[in-house]
Chains A and B, each alone.
Chain A
Amino acid sequence: DTEVTQTPKHLVMGMTNKKSLKCEQHMGHRAMYWYKQKAKKPPELMFVYSYEKLSINESVPSRFSPECPNSSLLNLHLHALQPEDSALYLCASSQRSGAYNEQFFGPGTRLTVL
Chain B
Amino acid sequence: DAKTTQPNSMESNEEEPVHLPCNHSTISGTDYIHWYRQLPSQGPEYVIHGLTSNVNNRMASLAIAEDRKSSTLILHRATLRDAAVYYCILRDSNSGNTPLVFGKGTRLSVIA
Is A86 interfacial (CB 8 A cutoff)?
Answer: no
Contacts of A106 in B (CB 8 A): 43
Interface residues of B, count at CB 8 A: 27
Is B44 interfacial (CB 8 A cutoff)?
Answer: yes
Is A50 interfacial (CB 8 A cutoff)?
Answer: yes
Chain A interface size band reads: 20 to 34
Are B100 and A90 in touch, CB under 8 angstroms?
no
The 8 Å CB contact of B44, one of A48, A56, A90, A98, is: A90
Binding site for B on A (CB under 8 A): 4, 33, 42-45, 48, 50, 55-56, 90, 92, 97-100, 102-108
Task: Please name 16 further chain A to chain B contacts, defined as beta carbons within 8 Å, in addition to the given A44-B102, A99-B98, sorted by A numbering.
Answer: A33-B100, A42-B85, A42-B103, A43-B102, A45-B99, A56-B99, A90-B43, A92-B43, A97-B96, A99-B31, A100-B91, A103-B46, A103-B100, A104-B46, A105-B43, A105-B44
